[in-house]
Amino acid sequence: MSDLKFCQGPKCHTYTTKDRLKGMKGSKTYQTRRRSDFYYGNGNFCSMNCQSDWFKEFGNQAIDHFGRLTFPLKLTEQNAWVKDYDYNYRDDNPKSNYRFVNKITNEQRPLTEQQYDDTSYTLNTGE
């Protein structure tokens, strides 16, 4: 398998678990975990610990690089639409449970299941 990748945690190799211990007797080392995929941090970290280690070491640089917020983001009537859905076991329920709800005005608008599943479909017009 050529798609193996390394955990990006800067201290991953310092957590001395058996699966990190590699090499022949006499030259064993603890090594950064390598897998086809990871569960944490968009598939970049083997554990919450490693993700948190990364943020402690690089978080400030990353935020400065991509742009630090210097003003509050605001939820307004224009961007407060969220998709909502009541789970219902009954298959014969004639009413659609899918809807848009505006978190500011509490207005509700009906939604088809297709629109609900379409992640690009939104009523929001601002950020």
Q: Which is nearer to Zn ion, 14 or 76 (CB)?
A: 14
Contact at 8 Å (CB) between 14 and 45? no
For the record, the structure tokens of 5 come out as 């990748």
Q: Is 111 in the site for Zn ion (CB under 5 A)?
A: no
d(Cα 108, Cα 103) in Å, to the nearest integer?
9
Q: Which is nearer to Zn ion, 52 or 115 (CB)?
A: 52
Please identify which residue in 40, 46, 51, 102 interacts with Zn ion, judged by CB under 5 A.
46
Listed ranges 23-31, 44-52, 96-104, 114-122: which one lies at the site for Zn ion (CB under 5 A): 44-52
Q: Which residue matches tokens 């050529």? A: 2
Q: What is the number of H-type helices and E-type strands within the chain?
A: 2, 7
d(Cα 101, Cα 107) in Å, to the nearest integer?
6
Report the nearest approach of Zn ion to the CB of residue 53 (Å): 8
Q: Is 53 in the site for Zn ion (CB under 5 A)?
A: no
In angstroms, what CA-CA distances link 8 with 3, 28, 51, 53, 60? 15, 21, 8, 9, 16
Q: Is 50 in the site for Zn ion (CB under 5 A)?
A: yes
Q: Is 40 in the site for Zn ion (CB under 5 A)?
A: no
The contact mask relative to Zn ion for 9-28 (x = CB under 5 A, - = no) is x--x----------------
Report the nearest approach of Zn ion to the CB of residue 42 (Å): 14
- The residues binding Zn ion (CB under 5 A) are 7, 9, 12, 33, 46, 50
